[in-house]
Structure 1
Amino acid sequence: MKKVTRVFYISAFIAVLFIIWGIIPKDVWPNANLDNVTTIVQGFLVDKFGWFYLISATAFVIFAIYLIFSKYGNIKLGKPGDKPEYSYLTWFAMLFSAGMGIGLVFWGAAEPLSHFHTPPYGDAETNEAAKTAMQYSFFHWGLHPWAIYATIALALAYFKFRKQAPGVVSAILEPLFGDRIKGTWGTVVDFIVVFATIFGVSTSLGLGAIQISGGLSFVTGMESTITLQLIIIAIVTVLYMTSAMTGLNRGIKYLSNTNLILAFLLLVFVLILGPTNFIMNFFTTSFGSYLQNLPSMSLRMTPFSEDNAGWINGWTIFYWAWWIAWAPFVGTFIARVSRGRTIREFVLGVLLVPTIFGALWFAVFGGSAIHLESFEGVNIMQHINNTGEEVALFALLENFPIGGFISIIAILLICTFFITSADSATFVLGMQTTGGSLYPPNSVKFVWGVIQSGAAAVLLWQGGLNALQTASIIAAFPFAIIMILVVFSLIKSFKQEAKEVDLSSRRKG
C-alpha cells in the first residue's frame, strides 16, 4: 500500500461513513436518513439546474464533433511511435462492456415499453407513441452519454500518454491552474471522481443482482428474495475480484470479448426469430427521427407544462446526471485502453460504434416488445408493473422458441457484464487513488472491491439502493463543472502544442 495517496484514505473513510449512514433504519432517524436527505438534494438540483445538465451534455457532443473535424484530430494519444495496445474488436468490446453493457440488457425492452405507455408528449399506445418511445431510447443511450465519456477519456489519455502527467483527473486541469491544482483543490477533484465511481458502481452491482435474481425467479419459479440477491453478490464478488487480480490483459480483456459475443448472439437470435422486417423498418425510421430531432431534443425543457417537465426530469435529466456521474469511471477505463490512437480515430470510435450498436439493441428488444403488445396481444407491461423492470427481458424472451434456454444465456450475459463492470471499477479506483498508476497494487483493488460489494449488499438489505444512486448523481453536479473546465484545459493544451509544432517546423525550414 506504499503507492496510495491521501485521496485513498479520505475516500475510503467517507465511503464507509455513507454506508453506515445508509443502514440506519428510517424510523430511527426519519428526517435525516440517507435516502431522505439525498432525495431532497437531488430533487433540488434536477428542478433548479435541469437546464444546466441539458446545456452541458449538449456542449460535450458539440465539442466531440468539433474534434473529429479539427486540425487536432491527427494528434496521437501517446508518443509518435506508439501503436494501439488492443485490436479494434477488443477495444470496442472493452469500452462497451465498461460503458453501459449491463444497462442495455436491463433497459433494452423495458425503456421503450415504458415510453410507449407513458410518452413524453402525445397520446399513449399509438403508432406515434411507439416512434417517440424508440427515438427517446436512442437519445438517452446514444451520442450524449458517449460524448460525455469521450471528453473525459480523451483528456485523461492525452495528458497521461502524451504529456506523461499522472493519470488522475486533477492533473488534466494543470494548464488552467498550474501547480495550485496539486494541493487541496486537486485532492477535492480526485475525491469527487472516486466518490461518484464508488456509489455509481455499487448501485449497478445492486441492480445487477436484482435482475439476475428476477431472471432466475422468472425462469425457474424460485422466489426472488433478498437472501438470493446477497448470495448472487457474494458469488459475483469472488469472480470479479479473481478477474481483477489477473490484470487488464487477461481478466477484463477475455471477459469483454465474451460479453460482446454473447450480446451479439442474443441480438441475432431475437432479430431473426422476431418480427425481423418490422424491427429493421422501425430501426431505420426511428434512427432517422433521432438524428433529425437531435437538436430540439437536446435542449427541450417544458416551462409551461408541469406534467411534461416531470417526464423530462425523471428520464432525460436523470440520465444526463447519471452519465456524468459514471464518466470518471468509464472515462478512466477507456483512456487506459486507448493508448496509440489518434484523437479523430478515438472520438469516432467512442461516439459512433456504441451509439449505433445501442440503437440496434433497443430496436431489436424494444421493437419486439412493442410489436408483441401492439399486434399480438401480449401484455409485457403487466409483468413489469407486477414485478419490476428487471423481468422485462425475460417476459419478452418467453414468447420465443426455446425462450427458457435463451433466458439462461441472458442471465449469463448479465453476469459477465456485472463482473466486467465491477472488475473495471476496482482498476479505476485503484488508479485514481495511487496517483494515476497504470498498475495499481492488488491490495488497493481488493479494498475497493470489498467496499463496492459491501455497499451494494448492505444497502440492498436495507432497501437503500435508491439513496446510493441519488448520492452518486449528486456528485455529478460538481463533476459537470469540472468537465467544463477540462474542455477549456484541453483546448489550451492543444493550442500550445500546435504552436510548438509550428515553431519547430519554422526552425527546420
Structure 2
Amino acid sequence: MMGTKRRTRGRTDFVVFGIAGALAVAFVLWGGLGTNSLSTVTTTMLGWLESNFGWAYVLAASGFVLFVLWLAFSRYGKIVLGRDEDTPEFKTLPWIAMMFAAGMGIGLMFYGVSEPLTHYTDPPPGTARAGTGAALDTSMATTMFHWALHPWAFYAVVGLAIAYSTFRRGRPQLVSSAFIPLIGDHAKGWIGRLIDILAIFATLFGSAASLGLSALQIGSGLKAAGFMSSVSTIVLVVVIVVLTAAFIFSAVSGIERGVQWLAATNGILGVAVALFVFIAGPTVFILNLLPTTLGDYLKELPGMAARTEASGGLDMARWLSKNTMFYWAWWISWTPFVGMFIARISRGRTIRQFVGGVILVPSVISLVWFAIFGGAAITTQRGGLNLAARSQEGQLFGLLQQYPAATVTSLVVMILVGIFFVSGADAASIVMGSLSQRGSTEPNKAVIAFWGALTGAVAAIMLIIGGGGESALTGLQNLTIIVASPFVIVMVLLCIALVRDLRRDRVVLRDDKGAEVIEAAVEHGTERYGEDFYLTVDSPSRKKSKRS
C-alpha cells in the first residue's frame, strides 16, 4: 500500500513513553545523587566495550557506506520514496540546508578547527611525525574520514528505511515499522517497542552530547570575548537551560516554521563566517589544500577504515576511543532522529537522489569547511602561535582573534553555535515525541517539551560527571559511546529488513515479470520460427496512433 500525505496525530504509547522516560529520569537522578558511582560504572562499561567490540564499530561503519552506495547504483535506485507520481515536497537547497543543519552543524562548529589541528600536532599512532608535511596530509585525511562518507551513510541507512516504510508502504513513521519485513507482526509488539525505546535513548544522549558541546563552546566564546574571566560548571548549566528553552520553543512551532527558518539562518551565517576566514586567512594555502585533502582522503581511506587495536596496540586503542569510536557512536546516536527527520523531508525523491544528496553533497561541504578552518588553524600554528595549547572548544575563538573584528566574529560564532544546536535539537525532540506516540507526524507539544527538558537535564548531568573542562568533554564522549552501542545491531538488522522490502517492491516485481515475459516470448519464437526470429516492443501510444 502506498503512503498518503495526510498528517497524523497519534495517541501516546505509554509503554514506550513510560519506560524510556522513567529510565532517563532515573539516569538524571543517579547522576545528581550519585555522581561518583555513575562515573565509575560508565568508565568500566566503556573499557569493556572498547576491548571487546571496537572491531564491530569499524566493520559496521564501512559496511553502511558500501550498502547505501550499492542501493543507489543498483536497480533499486529508481524507486520513489512515495507514490510513483510523487514529487519532492521541499526544493533542493532548503532540503540540503535542513538536512545539514540537523545532521552535523554543531559538530562542524566545535571541531572545524580543533580536529585538523589536533591530528597535525598529535597524529594517529604510527602515521607521521607531528608538525610535518606528512602530518598535515594525515590530519586532513583523518578529519575527512570522520566527517564525510561514513557519518552520512549512517544517516542514509535509517533515513532510507523509514522513508521507504512510511511513504512507500504506508506504515507508521517508526523505526520499528521498518522491521516488519524481517520480523512481521513482532514489530508491533514488545520487540518493536524495544527498538523504539533504544531509538529514543540513542537520540536523547546524542542530543545531550551535542548540547554539552554547544555549552562548552559558548562558554569559551564568552571568555574569549572578554565577558568572563573564567567559565564554571554553573555557567555551563545556565547556558544549557537557555538553549533548552530555545529549542523547545522552536520544536513546538513545527518543521515548516521553526526548523526551516533556523536552517536558512544558520546556513547564511555559516557561509558568512567561512568566507570571512577564507578571505582574511591564508586564501591560497586553503585553495591548494582542497585537492590535496581530497586526494589524501581517497588514497588513505582503506587504511583508515582498517585501524583497530590489532594494528597499533594500546596506543591505537586509546586513540580510537577518543576519536573514531566516539565519532561513530555520536553519528549512530544521531541516526534515529536525523534519519527520521531526513526521511520526513525527503518524500518524492528516488533512492538514488536521496543517497546522492545525503552522501555526496554534505561530504563536499565538509571538505570545503575543514580546508578553510583547518588550513587557517594549521597556518597559524606554523606561524608560532600555539593554538593547540588551548582547549578544544576555545581553539576556534583563538583563531578568530588573529583576524580583524575578533569580538564581532566571536559573537556571530556563539550565535551560530546556538542556532545550529537549536535547529538539530528541536528536530530530535519532535522525533522522540513521534516515537512516543506511535509514529505521529504531529506529536503532542507537551510530549515534545518533556523530551526537550529531559535532554537538557541529561546534558547537565553528563557535564557534571565529567567535572568541567577537558574532562567534561571526555564524559560526554564516553556516555555517547556506551548508549549508542546497542543501536549498531538495530542498524545492521535494518539493512536486511530494507533489502527484503525492496525485493518485493512493485517496480522490482514489474521489471522481473517483464523480463520473464520477454524471455519466454523469445524462447517460444525461436523454437517456432528459428534463429531468424526477432521481437519488437512497441508502446501503447504508438499502437493507438497506428490504428487511427
TM class by smaller structure: over 0.9
Letter in 2 for 1:272: I
Alpha carbons of structure 1 residues 304 and 424: separation in structure 2 relative to 1, 3 Å: closer
CA distance in 2, matches of 1:367, 1:305: 28
- 1-side partners of 2:486 and 2:462: how far apart? 24
SS in 2 for 1:341: coil
Which deviations, in whole Å up to 9, do the C-alpha atoms of 1:76-116 show, x marking residues without a partner? 11112222111111111111111110011001001111111
For residue 374 of structure 2, what is the aligned residue in structure 1? 366
Q: Does 1:327 align with 2:335?
A: yes
CA shift for structure 1 position 473? 2.1
Aligned match of 2:503: 495
| Structure 1 residues 268 and 186: CA distance shift in structure 2, 3 A | same
Q: Does the CA-based 8 Å contact 1:25-1:462 persist in structure 2?
A: no
Per the alignment, residue 197 of structure 1 pairs with: 203
Specify whether residues 354 and 194 from structure 1 end up closer, same or farther in structure 2 by C-alpha distance, changes over 3 A only: same
Question: What is the aligned residue count?
Answer: 499
Aligned twin of 1:3: 11
Counterpart of 1:427 in structure 2 is: 430
Q: Contact (CA 8 Å) 2:10, 2:438: kept in 1 or not?
A: no
Deviation of 1:458 after TM superposition, in Å, equals: 4.2
Name the counterpart of 2:77.
73
290-299 or 70-79, which deviates more: 290-299
Distance 1:390 1:483 in 2: 31
Q: CA RMSD in A?
A: 1.9
Q: 2: distance between equivalents of 1:20 and 1:352? A: 42
Structure 2 unaligned regions, length at least 5: 1-8, 518-538, 541-548
Which among 254, 263, 266 is matched to residue 261 of structure 2? 254
- Distance change (3 Å), C-alpha of 1:161 and 1:39: same
Give me the whole-angstrom Cα distance separating, in 1, the residues matched to 2:217 and 2:412.
Answer: 13
Tell me the TM-score normalized by structure 1. 0.94
Q: Which residue of 2 aligns with 1:45?
A: 49
Quick one: distance in 2 between partners of 1:329 and 1:77? 18
| Separation in 1, partners of 2:138, 2:252 | 45
Q: 2:132 aligned with 1:123, yes or no?
A: no
SS at match of 2:341: helix
**Any residues of structure 2 matched to 1:21-36 within 5 Å, and which?**
21-26=30-35, 30=36, 33-36=37-40
- Letter of the 2:266 counterpart: N
State the 1:48 CA deviation: 1.6
Cα distance in 2 between the residues matched to 1:353 and 1:34: 40
- Residues 485 and 461 (structure 1 numbering): CA distance in 2 closer, same or farther, change over 3 Å? closer
Contact 1:76 1:341 in 2 (8 A): yes
Which whole-Å CA distance do the structure 1 matches of 2:512 and 2:121 have between them?
Answer: 61
* Structure 1 segments unaligned to the other structure (5+ residues): none
Q: Distance in 2 between matches of 1:297 and 1:400?
A: 34
The change in CA–CA distance for 1:503 and 1:111 in structure 2 (over 3 A counts) is closer
Contact 2:224–2:394 at 8 Å: present in 1 too?
Answer: yes
3-state SS of 2:504 partner = helix
Deviations 1:376-427 (A, max 9, x none): 2111112x2xxx2110100000001112211111111001112112211111
Deviation at 1:336, TM superposition (A): 1.0
SS at match of 1:220: coil
Q: Does 1:15 align with 2:15?
A: no
Q: Using the alignment, how far apart are the partners of 2:138 and 2:465 within structure 1?
A: 37
Identity %: 42
The CA deviation at 1:499 is 4.7
Offset of 1:371 from its aligned partner? 0.7
- Matched residue, 1:281: 288
Deviation, 1:477, is 2.2
Contact conserved, 2:212 with 2:476, CA < 8 A, in 1?
no
Partners of 1:339 and 1:441 lie apart in 2 by 23
2:387 — aligned with what? 380
Output the CA distance in 1 between the equivalents of 2:209 and 2:322.
18
In structure 2, what residue type is equivalent to 1:39? T
Aligned pairs for 1:310-349 (under 5 A) are 310-349=318-357
Give, in whole Å, the separation in 2 of the partners of 1:362 and 1:304. 27
TM-score (norm 2): 0.87
